[in-house]
Chains A and B, each alone.
Chain A
Amino acid sequence: MNLIRKKAAKRKFGDNQIIRVSVRIMAPFIQLFGLYVIAHGHYSPGGGFQGGVVLGASFILLSLAFDLEKTLKSFSESMNAVMANIGVLIYTGTAILCALVGGLFLDYAALNSILPIGPIEWRSLGIFIVEIGVGFAVMSIMLSLYWDLSSGGDMDKGL
């Protein structure tokens, strides 16, 4: 880990105006595309895992082009942990809610007794809710893995 960092410091990876400006321009569009992949999973290839990875990759790109502290300002460490927990809670919470309102575990059609829009529509909507949870969790965990592995757990500069 130290060797990589020394090499990176010597060659000044990413210390380049072109890379910084283009990453700053690209990042919002990558994030928008990640949200699109999550939201459009019903109609095209995509879904929670893929969209979450794209969202996480946009933050990883930011922390590669700048340094870790810059990313930590926009997406703090505690916020990241909260997002990962919320993502898993959305999934398991939806599943348990289905069981509480009288259906089977993970049987989204049972949610029809809360908001009557039809059991089949609820199965479609339930998949969407669950994908959002997966997207949250995957995004935060991807980013947290990168933070920890690139800085050796110090969360200071990164690569």
Chain B
Amino acid sequence: MKIFALFASLLTGAILLYGVQDFAPWGDPASPANSHVSSYYIKQTVFETHVPNIVTAVLGDYRGYDTMFETVVIFCAGMAVICVLRRSRH
């Protein structure tokens, strides 16, 4: 069974590495990520949110869903560990 799991993870990793080949080169100024949203955030963040720190504005406002479910994931992880391990009745 362990051999099978190893084989499955190696296969998944190989597929992911194969997919990475189609990515734009590292730091390419013409890649879609650098030519559309990044320049918009850099130009508009201070006017739209009054937050000088672009990272915070993207994290808390533009990408609010992502941060919300990150928090929920952390919460679920903590609750799962409590459910599995905790025995005390303080």
B52 within 8 A of A: yes
**Which of chain A's residues 136-159 have a Cβ closer than 8 Å to chain B?**
137-138, 140-141, 144-145, 148-149, 152-156
How would residues 59 to 95 of chain A score, 1 for a CB under 8 Å from any chain B CB and 0 otherwise? 0000000000000100011100100110110011001
Whole-angstrom CA separation of A145 from B74 in the bound complex: 10
Residue among A43, A88, A141, A149 with the highest chain B CB neighbour number at 10 A:
A141
Majority secondary structure, B binding face:
helix
Whole-angstrom CA separation of A91 from B67 in the bound complex: 9
Determine the interface band of chain B, counting residues with CB < 8 A from chain A. Answer: 20 to 34
A106 contacts across to B, CB distance below 8 A: 64-65, 68
Residue among A81, A87, A91 with the highest chain B CB neighbour number at 10 A:
A91
Identify B90's interface contact among A45, A77, A130, A153, CB under 8 A: A77
Majority secondary structure, A binding face:
helix
A19 to chain B, nearest CB (A): 26
CB atoms of B82 and A148 under 8 A apart: yes
Interface residues of B (CB under 8 A from A): 47-53, 55-57, 59-61, 64-65, 67-68, 70-72, 74-75, 77-79, 81-82, 84-88, 90
Give me the 3 closest cross-chain CB pairs, A-B, nearest first: A153-B85, A127-B60, A141-B78
